[in-house]
A and B are shown apart, each in its own frame.
Chain A
Amino acid sequence: MSSFGEITSAKGDIAGAGQRPGAPSLAVAAERRASIRLAAGLALVALAWVGAYLALRPLADVLTYDLLRLSRDSHLGSAVNFFLYDTPKILLLLTAVVFAVGIVRTFFTAERARRALGGRREGIGNVAAAGLGVVTPFCSCSAVPLFIGFVEAGVPLGVTFSFLIAAPMVNEVAVVLLFGLFGWGTALLYVALGLSIAVVSGWVIGRLRMEHHVEDFVYEMAVGQLDAEERLTWPDRIARARQAVREIVGRVWPFVVVGIAVGAGIHGYVPEDFLADVMGKSAWWSVPAAVVLGVPMYSNAAGIIPVVEALMDKGAALGTALAFMMSVIALSLPEMIILRRVLKWQLIAVFIGVIATGIVSVGYVFNLVL
């Protein structure tokens, strides 16, 4: 008990260092006022968000048909209306979801994921890793240190891969665009399939016993422990979520605008069933072709999904479209180049092969079922 007392009093000293007696209570009051202001600010922003969202439809209609005087039946009218409605809608949704995910991500760190997965059996480990891959903050530029850290901590290779596959594939930007342009069903389907591919591909790679195809230096590296964990307050978490909004929305909005503009053009001008022969269900080769086409394309979900949505309107099958999206998002050349630093080329080839097979199967299953 005495040691606990010492710790608390030591903390109190640091917090109160240099302050007059009585100052802490003032600080507490100021902190409370700041929290109330923050909560009120958030509530106001949420209200403004709802208002803006509700105003989207009438605003787009007034702009297109009354201000620009375009006819409701014309190609140009429908393309412009589509663009004016969908662009702000997606940006609003993106802002809200990135903020919410930003809050969730402050509860997860790579260290916590490593601790949760270290020494875990395959199977359950793959499932846990895919889930953690989605919620843990991750940037493909950190793939190498993360890989080394996981492997050194005794996370099985296949489990590590489940994490590395799920992290980029199931991301909030893709989910928002799928929800905004296709609806809940497709968004959920994408998440479920992305997680399944991550789990199964990781498990398969684990079964293949490829440990010796990891670059040797990875196993020789000494990995330290972080000194201490950050303690975050709610205002900290909110500040970080706002930073995530600035960063992510700030980065992807041009892709959203261009993607929806291209999509609107396709909607308005490309004839119906134009793609039925090449991207329809009847063309069996279209699924693998879509995957192969997707690998060198390094776009993000924001740019590619509006275009795919428009293509589906012109006769492309959902399975083929999903396969193309997953391939563009999950299999990117730059990430392979980054991972080549820790993986020998045989393992890179297996990595690409296993994921591509998974995506192609998903594409076929969808074309068959739906």
Chain B
Amino acid sequence: MLKIQVLGPGCANCQRLETLTRQAVAGLGVEAEVEKVTDMRQIMARGVMATPGLAVNDKLVSTGRVPSASEVMALIANVLAEEDAGS
């Protein structure tokens, strides 16, 4: 199962990204757990200085902006494709 994290302290942009991510997951029809990371320690440990950040299976794929729904889908699909190629 995919693990998707939205990193951000809970600002409006972070909430928008979370909603978009859930839509993207539904659109892709993949099984995924969407988690919101609001703890500043964890956010900083990932090196995210511009929120919101988006991580798919612990790989950071976007920071500092809210990508569009189709972009989020592409970002998730990219990580899936890379993992398939790697295994």
Contact = CB atoms under 8 A, between A and B. Distances in A.
A227 interface: yes
Nearest to B46: A224
Interface stretch (A134-142, A295-303, A352-360): A134-142
Nearest to B9: A144
A255 to B, nearest CB: 17
Contact of B64 (A14, A109, A114, A150): A109
Interface size range on B against A: 20 to 34
Given A14-B85, A137-B65, A141-B13, A224 B47 contact: yes
Contacts of A144: 9, 40
B57 interface: no
B19 to A, nearest CB: 15
B37 to A, nearest CB: 12
A149 interface: yes
A149 B44 contact: yes
Contacts of B12: 141
Given A141-B12, A145-B44, A150-B49, 8 more contacts: A139-B51, A141-B51, A142-B11, A142-B50, A144-B9, A145-B51, A146-B50, A148-B49
A264 to B, nearest CB: 31
Contacts of B13: 139, 141
B77 interface: no
A7 interface: no
A223 interface: yes
A73 B51 CA distance: 52
Contacts of A240: 65
Nearest to B63: A226
Contacts of A28: none
- Name the 4 nearest CB pairs between A and B, nearest first: A141-B11, A224-B47, A149-B49, A110-B49
Interface in B64-87: 64-65, 68, 81-82, 85
B43 interface: yes
A25 interface: no
Contacts of B43: 145
Interface residues of A, number: 27
B51 A221 contact: no
Contact of B59 (A17, A142, A152, A227): A227
Contacts of A35: none
Main secondary structure of the interface of A (DSSP, over half): helix
Interface of A: 14, 17, 109-111, 114, 137-139, 141-142, 144-146, 148-150, 152, 221-227, 240, 243
Contact of B44 (A14, A17, A109, A148): A148
Contacts of B48: 145, 226
Contacts of B81: 17
B49 A142 contact: yes
B34 interface: no
B45 A222 contact: yes
Contacts of B82: 14
A242 B38 CA distance: 29
Nearest to A244: B65
Nearest to B14: A141
19 contacts: A14-B85, A111-B47, A141-B8, A141-B12, A141-B13, A142-B49, A142-B50, A142-B64, A145-B40, A145-B51, A150-B49, A221-B41, A223-B47, A224-B44, A224-B45, A226-B47, A226-B60, A227-B60, A243-B65
A222 to B, nearest CB: 6
Contact of B45 (A17, A137, A223): A223
A78 to B, nearest CB: 39
B83 to A, nearest CB: 12
A139 B59 CA distance: 23
A222 B63 contact: no
A142 B51 contact: yes
A222 B40 CA distance: 10
